[in-house]
Amino acid sequence: MKISIKNTAGKAAGELEVKFAVVENGKGTQAVHDAVTAYRAAQRSGTACTKTAGEVTGTNKKPWKQKGTGRARAGSFQSPLWVGGGVVFGPKPRDFSKTISKKTKQLALRKALSERLKLGDVIVVDDLKLATNKTRDFVKVIDALECKGTTLLISGEENKNLTLAARNIVGVTLTTSDSLNTYDVLRPDKLVFTKSAFEKVEARLTQE
């Protein structure tokens, strides 16, 4: 598969041959599901915590005597039946993360990127280095590339001017080729790679 390379003015600047094996048919669908599930699970803080009856501040004194009051028996102010008492089977801090193999991660990313390539949602730019960090200059680049809707920019390495220029644009996010994951590939409407970033991702997907 070949994809065209554009410059920051939106003009054709050559072609690029996709080096990794494009995933066909239904292969890799489960890998994508597992990768996205693992990614989203890892975002959960897992810090929700409730106190049990033994952890609630209180006294061991009975609220009232056992007999003669006409009320139901009560033995503790910390009882889960009372307002301010402990919680039965409430949440405790936990780790929600799930583990998937390196091969599954690679297949999932290859599958996701293959589908976006087939749909024409991937744009490769020869370079995205900006002379200034002005947002208005970067907006011109986005308009020239005809990026509609949400857009993810993938650069080969961190670029300070690009980061500063892109951070104020609604719907535009920035990442690097090393940090790119399956969820990132699936989420936006358009993926804009620099040529160097696309080649680095290809290298990740062709590793044994």
Quick one: pLDDT at residue 21?
87
Span 41-53, pLDDT tens digits: 999 999 999 999 9
State the burial class of residue 32 (Cβ atoms within 10 Å of its Cβ: 0-12, 13-18, 19+).
Answer: buried
DSSP strand E in 65-207: where?
122-125, 151-155, 172-176, 190-194
Question: In the predicted model, what is the mean pLDDT of the chain?
Answer: 91
Span 57-75, pLDDT tens digits: 988 899 999 999 999 999 9
CATH number of 2-43+99-205, picked from 3.30.70.2190, 3.40.1370.10, 3.40.50.720, 2.60.40.10? 3.40.1370.10
pLDDT band at 208 (very low <50, low <70, confident <90, very high): low
Span 1-28, pLDDT tens digits: 888 888 888 888 888 888 888 898 889 9
Domain boundaries, the chain: 2-43+99-205, 50-90
| Of 207, 194, 115, nearest in space to 162 by CA | 194
Question: What tokens appear for 33 in the block?
Answer: 């599901």
Quick one: pLDDT at residue 31?
96
Classified as helix, coil or strand, 44 is: coil
17: enclosing H helix or E strand = strand 12-17
pLDDT band at 93 (very low <50, low <70, confident <90, very high): very high
pLDDT band at 128 (very low <50, low <70, confident <90, very high): confident
Angle between helices 102-118 and 195-205 (to 10 degrees): 130
